């Protein structure tokens, strides 16, 4: 097998693997983190006949390849592949962030108007936090009380509630 044939076979294998990976994760990408993995049937069924053929899968893979081949030379460089992965990672990050924000608004939006008022944004334990910080019970938090609380927080291991030995 000559070098050009080996390169072509390798490139085809990489492209097929990337296409299969993208197809396998397309449904998860649209529905959010933690959903059952699978491919997006509607995207692959390009003629909307209710079936996905090998030709449609190949056309989808070629379209993905061409989108990544930014210089149009018919080859993917390491830089083009890296740029495609980074762009997709940013898109996923944005989608996940939007999903979390939607969930937060849904959870906190008491009047279901799609917006959060200052009352809806209040931390449910804000009174308990105030009481805990107001160690002398005078209804005010002094600078000393605030500093003492900071010191306690710094002395605990993150999320464990255990003091760090110094």
Identify the band that residue 76 occupies on the pLDDT scale cut at 50, 70 and 90. very high
Q: Which segments of the chain does DSSP mark as H helices, in order?
A: 3-31, 41-44, 54-68, 78-108, 118-121, 126-133, 143-154
CA distance 20 to 26: 10
CA distance 35 to 105: 21
pTM assigned to the model: 0.42
> What pLDDT shows up at residue 120?
87
Can you tell me which residue has the tokens 């939006």? 109
> What pLDDT shows up at residue 31?
45
Q: Residues 126-159: pLDDT tens digits?
A: 778 888 888 999 988 898 988 888 877 665 545 5
């Amino acid at each position: 097998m000559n070098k050009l044939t080996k390169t072509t076979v390798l490139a085809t294998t990489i492209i097929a693997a990337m296409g299969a990976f993208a197809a396998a994760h397309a449904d998860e990408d649209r529905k959010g983190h933690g959903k059952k993995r699978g491919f997006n049937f509607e995207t692959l069924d390009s003629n909307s006949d209710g079936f996905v053929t090998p030709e449609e899968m190949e056309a989808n893979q070629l379209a993905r390849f061409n989108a990544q081949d930014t210089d149009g030379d018919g080859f993917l460089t390491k830089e083009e592949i890296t740029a495609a992965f980074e762009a997709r990672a940013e898109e996923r990050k944005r989608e996940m962030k939007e999903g979390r924000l939607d969930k937060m608004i849904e959870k906190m939006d008491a009047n279901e108007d799609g917006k959060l008022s200052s009352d809806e944004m209040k931390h449910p334990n804000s009174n308990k936090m105030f009481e805990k910080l107001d160690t002398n019970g005078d209804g005010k938090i002094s600078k000393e009380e605030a500093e003492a609380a900071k010191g306690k927080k710094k002395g605990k291991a993150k999320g464990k509630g255990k003091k760090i030995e110094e």
